[in-house]
Amino acid sequence: MKLKLVGCSHHTTRIEIREQLAFSPEQIPMALSALRSSFPKTEAVLLSTCNRVELYTAAESDLEAPSDEQVIEFLADFHGLRAHQIVDDLFLRQRGDALRHLFRVAASLDSMVMGEAQILSQVKEAYRVANDGDYTGPLTHAAFQGAMRVARRVATETAIHQRRVSIPSVAVADFASQIFERFDDKEVLVIGAGEMGRETLTYLVEEGVRHVTIINRNQERAETLAEEFNGSTAPWGDLPKHLAKADMVISTTGSKEPIITLDDYQRIESERFQRTLFVLDLAVPRDFDPKIGHCLGVYLYSIDDLKKACESNRQQREKEWPKAQRIIDVETDRFLKQWNHRVTGPTIRQLQATTEKLKSDELQRLMNKLSEVDDNTEKEIRMSFDRLVNKLLHSPLESLRDEAEKGTPHGLLDALKKLFQLRD
């Protein structure tokens, strides 16, 4: 199975590096197209979220697929970086390890908040984008559809997703609630109109928030979100004015550069009269210059600041972890066996067809030479030929099936193709 993964995540890679490697929704099709231009026979799916960037590639043979080094070069070049700047922050997975990792990601076992629901929709979206652009193929189809099946099993057969806890809910419950005693009198400013902002608003409204302003470059999307939460909208150009009035800010844009620099904030700082400002910067790259967090009265939290609270969440769900992991191990083993049998199936059928043709030809030649053979004798002759062919094929086919079960059929498969001169 020629499945490979090169990526980074919040587990091992600092946010500064993830920011540089992150892909916006508009960049993902561009990146997949560029990869296809260099490697025409390679399948690919690119997953880019706040916490991870993962590029899955697959091909029929290693010669048709990019090497790990070439994928690293590709990621670096796309973002205007040098490979040596990022190589130590990336992890590499191949074959079964890559598949098992994908299953863990989709099932939310690899998330910052174990059991959060958003990652599965992000995996589905990454697969949809790749599929719409025709960058997928048999192996990525099977792998990502398998990942969705695994995620459903984990959700229904374990308690990991009960009382779902996401990054926004942790931010509200463990951070905002420590700063504010009440929320009904707070002015909330949401910058961006994506799913993360929507989910955060859902929890804030449950806490009593009533005054919400949405600012987004796409006014139509801002109005849709504002209508859902009985809020109002403002033009992008009015962002400084509303930042001066806000008590809480949730920022989730896809900007590649900070939308609020230290200078921007200092220009409106005097208008705030040292009122407390809670900023939840959920964007990667970050929307707010981290230096703003040192200003008087400002509590600025980024994705990485949520790790401690998320770790507590993980510990609460640890008792469900073994059950979920067993599901992933079983599904991974089953997938690999089925895929290897799928790989060996055409060769087995072709070998059987070839030997059947040889047997039929030799039987016909023999029958033409023999005169007046009675039906019983002819039947015995045919049965003898069948037994001989079956015995000759039994050992190589049994060995091939055994190798397929172990996940290592390719060496024997190639040998059989050469020995019997079978076509690919």
Cβ pair 34, 26 in contact under 8 A: no
pLDDT value of residue 28: 97
CB atoms within 10 A of CB 93: 19
Q: Is residue 8 annotated as part of the catalytic site, yes or no?
A: no
Domain with CATH 3.30.460.30 in the chain: 3-162
CA pair distance 26, 305, nearest whole angstrom: 27
Which range has the top average pLDDT, 25-34, 304-313, 367-376?
A: 25-34
CA pair distance 367, 360, nearest whole angstrom: 10
pLDDT digits over 271-321, tens only? 999 899 999 999 989 999 999 999 999 999 998 888 777 777 667 777 888
Q: What is the dihedral of CA 251, 256, 257, 258, to 10 degrees?
A: 10
Computed over every residue of the chain, the mean pLDDT equals 88
Name every residue whose Cβ is closer than 8 Å to that of residue 223 and which is 6 or more positions away in sequence: 214, 233
- What is the mean pLDDT of the segment spanning 380-385? 87
One CATH from 3.30.70.1520, 3.40.50.720, 3.90.1710.10, 3.50.50.60 for 167-310: 3.40.50.720
3-class DSSP state of 356: helix
3-class DSSP state of 79: coil
- What is the mean pLDDT of the segment spanning 2-20? 92
pLDDT value of residue 146: 94
For 3-156, list the strands marked E by DSSP. 3-9, 43-48, 52-58, 91-94
Cβ pair 191, 252 in contact under 8 A: yes
How far out from the chain centre does Cα 285 lie? 19
Answer whether 0.95 is exceeded by the pTM: no
Question: Does 90 have pLDDT greater than 70?
Answer: yes
Cβ pair 247, 188 in contact under 8 A: yes
Question: Does 137 have pLDDT greater than 80?
Answer: yes
- What is the mean pLDDT of the segment spanning 153-179? 81
For 19-172, list the strands marked E by DSSP. 43-48, 52-58, 91-94
Name every residue whose Cβ is closer than 8 Å to that of residue 353 and which is 6 or more positions away in sequence: none
Name every residue whose Cβ is closer than 8 Å to that of residue 69 and which is 6 or more positions away in sequence: 83
Name every residue whose Cβ is closer than 8 Å to that of residue 94 and which is 6 or more positions away in sequence: 3, 4, 5
Which candidate in 8, 50, 295, 310 is catalytic? Answer: 50
Cis peptide before 168 (omega within 30 of 0): no
Cα angle at 307 between 306 and 310, to 5 degrees? Answer: 85
CATH superfamily ID and name for 3-162: Glutamyl-tRNA reductase, N-terminal domain (3.30.460.30)
